[in-house]
Amino acid sequence: MTLPPTHFKWKLFERKGVYYADGRGNRPNAGKHSLGTRNRAEAEQLLLRLDRRRAEDLNLIVSSARKRDETERLTLAAGRALYEARLQLPAIAGGVRPATFKRYRTIFDKFLEFAPQIGVENWNELTKQALELYAKHLTKNKYKPKTIFCELVVIKQTQHWLIDEGHLFGVTPVLLRMYRPQGQPAYCWRPEEVDAILAHCLQQPDLKWLHDVLLTLACTGLRISEAVGLRWTDIDLTQDLLKLTDESGFAADSNDTRHLKSGRSRILALHPELKKLFSTKARRGRFVFAGPRGGRLNADTVRRTLVREVLTPLADRFPTPEGGRGFRDGRLHSFRHYFCSMSANAGVPEQIMMDWLGHADSAMVRIYYHLHNDESRRQMASINFTGVSRGLSGDGQTELEPLVEDAADLRKQPLD
């Protein structure tokens, strides 16, 4: 597709999913360039910047940035402060949640400590080569691919924002091609493992509180943060519903304000086992679940107790295959996978499943629907790749055997 952004005509095309811009048909020649993105809208925005930069490089225009101050530099610390101020805006104005802001702060701390080692002291000096060196540094220090991807994205998008907002002059945004790595999903419990976990908790009087939490996770697919924050007002025993409301847009904000990861409220039907649990459970305070000492429950307490008091004692009963993942690798998020797997196996439609989990799109959900796709298995079983399974007779002899005998007889006959 040919696009005429401003100064040149460009042919925008894809190669292996990545967008490129070809401006070689112009006079002067604007060249061919990778835009380093797989997103069409982002490619068009980057093309506008490329068009302007090439016009400046070929002395067709004098940029306003150069007119203002070609030598001005924005230090890494100053640029970071500007971007963090933007992140701390109210959510309605594009700000992020406190937990997300904390993650960004850690990323900046790490990058600003490393950057001077490669001679990068301001955002004007950030280049593709600098980010590649940083990626190698993180890899050498044993950071996981998903972490490295996330950190590079944050650094790159910060520079792009600084350019768009006019804080950086005469700077071309870094175009670095990156591929989102696929993380290893949490281990998915098997039904017999969940039964053993729940039974073990019931057998220990001091683990009854843990049983109630884990049963809720198994029957709802809630994240642990959602479960420990569950309130009695979220449960409607009259209509057998569990209602999770995202309160990010509420006027009052406090430590108890609920922020769901998806940012969307959702409603789940109560499973009969959960209705029985909630109907008989004593109500003490605002929250459904309390800690082992009766206080406010937190996710870390649940996590540590599960590993120490349940998984470790039961590990010998469910041995893990050598070199593989098994029972001992399960964690709280494994109950979310278990819920998804059991629902897919029971034939729950995929869209309903995503509504229950609070996903607009989910690779995890698709995995379990593929695993439980009976039609796919039937179609595969109907294909005869080798001929051995073709036409079995009652005594186990295949139709292939007489054909082999006929072929042997033909070889004995003289040729004409």
Position 368 confidence tier, pLDDT thresholds 50, 70, 90: confident
CB 253, CB 246: distance < 8 Å: no
Q: Quote the pLDDT of residue 119.
A: 92
Of 35-49, 380-394, 401-415, which gets the smallest average pLDDT?
Answer: 401-415
The residues, ordered by sequence, that sit 6+ positions from 410 with a Cβ below 8 Å of its Cβ are none
CB 209, CB 290: distance < 8 Å: yes
Walk me through the domains of the chain, giving residue ranges and CATH numbers.
2-61 (no CATH), 76-164 (1.10.150), 195-332 (1.10.443.10)
Name residue 242's beta-bridge partners: 235, 268
Q: Output the average pLDDT for the chain.
A: 84
Residue 249 has pLDDT above 70, yes or no: no
Alpha helix (H) ranges present in 115-267? 128-140, 145-164, 191-203, 208-220, 224-228
Residues comprising the chain, all counted = 416
Of 84, 146, 74, nearest in space to 109 by CA: 84
Position 91 confidence tier, pLDDT thresholds 50, 70, 90: confident
CA distances to 219, 350, 353, 374, 382 from 345, rounded to whole Å, are 14, 11, 12, 9, 22
Residue 416 has pLDDT above 50, yes or no: no
CA distances to 152, 220, 262, 312, 334 from 299, rounded to whole Å, are 29, 16, 19, 19, 14
Position 373 confidence tier, pLDDT thresholds 50, 70, 90: low
pTM over 0.95: no
Residue 66 has pLDDT above 60, yes or no: no
Residue 60 has pLDDT above 50, yes or no: yes
Mean pLDDT computed over 142-147: 91
What percent of the chain stands above pLDDT 90?
A: 45
How far from chain centre, in Å, is Cα 240?
Answer: 31
Q: Quote the pLDDT of residue 90.
A: 80
CA distances to 101, 158, 328, 359, 364 from 146, rounded to whole Å, are 18, 18, 23, 20, 16
The residues, ordered by sequence, that sit 6+ positions from 259 with a Cβ below 8 Å of its Cβ are 97, 246, 247, 248
Q: Quote the pLDDT of residue 371.
A: 67
